[in-house]
Copies of this chain bind each other. A is one copy, B any other.
Amino acid sequence: MFSPLIDELMQALRVLPGVGPKSAQRMAFHLLEQERQGALQLARSLEKAIDGVSYCNGCRTFTEESFCGICRNVKRDGRTVCVVESPADILAFEQSGSYSGHYFVLHGHLSPIDGIGPEDLGIDILESRLAQGEIQELILATGSTVEGEATAHYIAELGRRNEVTVSRLAQGVPLGGELEYLDGGTLAHALNSRRVI
């Protein structure tokens, strides 16, 4: 109905999560009417990020370097590895100021119904690092959802097989809640009260 370039832009905007036809139309008109410079900046930022950002070779968080700032930081203790579902969870831990170990980012959780198995989450990489013997404790900080719990159980089993201490965040993480929305205090408490499983 609109001109081809506008129709194409509206269609392209729908790649964003939660953006349906009406939102896409509103976004396209807003950009064209009021944010032309901002729209070009967005285009450049998208290209740079897609071109430059991949997974950290250490922890699998997003980074444009071979290793992220946390993995490169020699003051951090690589013997403790905190396993999280999302890079956003790292931010939550760092803001709580209560953790100085390393991380491992799954970018999701086990979900057989969606065809997401251990290798899709890099768990094979984690397993080979466990076999190398440098990791002494695995803190499982996946969400307290059904899938998050199942993922934690799966990784806990790998940890035990490799004679590594495996812990889970203590009570304090709300049931069904998402880690990245937790306040720092609650997260610090849950971390300090973690229990060996």
Contacts and interface: CB of A to CB of B under 8 A. Distances in A.
How many copies, total?
2
A45 to B, nearest CB: 4
Contacts of A36: 50
Interface stretch (A9-17, A133-141, A157-165): A9-17
Is chain A's binding surface mostly helix, strand, loop or mixed?
helix
Interface residues of A, number: 56
Nearest to A27: B16
A113 to B, nearest CB: 17
Given A8-B49, A15-B42, 12 more contacts: A2-B91, A8-B48, A12-B46, A15-B41, A16-B27, A16-B30, A25-B88, A28-B49, A33-B107, A33-B108, A39-B46, A42-B43
Given A9-B49, A43-B46, A32 B62 contact: yes
